[in-house]
Amino acid sequence: MSVTIPVVSTSDVLDGTARIEGTRVSVQRVGTRVREHGWSRGKVSDEFNLTVKEILTAVDLTTMTYILKKWTALLSDEKKHKSSSPIQVTRWSNAASL
């Protein structure tokens, strides 16, 4: 079963920051509370009136953004230093094995 949690960005709400549709709660705010401050899903749900699926989506999106920024920095560093050793990437054949 696939569930879509709408994440939107509109210039008139939160200055265009990605947020859960129908709320003024940014994806970054939720992800930060869970990942960096150790809030439970229950606490986030109570504080922001979000469903568990909305919370998990926000955490996933902020995690992917973090990884992308780290990779971008790493690749930029690689180009600056013109290292002869390539970056090694492991590719999983099945996402369920993660």
Whether 73 maps to a domain, the answer reads: yes
List the domain range (segments joined by +) for residue 43: 7-80
DSSP character string of 40-73: -HHHHHHHHT--HHHHHHHHHHHHHHHHHHHHHH
Q: Model confidence over 8-41: pLDDT tens digits?
A: 888 999 988 889 988 999 999 999 999 889 999 9
Q: Model confidence over 71-80: pLDDT tens digits?
A: 888 888 777 6
Whether 67 maps to a domain, the answer reads: yes
CATH number of the domain to which 55 belongs:
1.10.10
Whether 98 maps to a domain, the answer reads: no
Count of structural domains within the chain: 1
Whole-prediction pTM: 0.64
Q: What is the mean pLDDT of the chain?
A: 80
Residue 19 phi, psi dihedral angles, 5° rounding: -145, 165
pLDDT at 92: 53
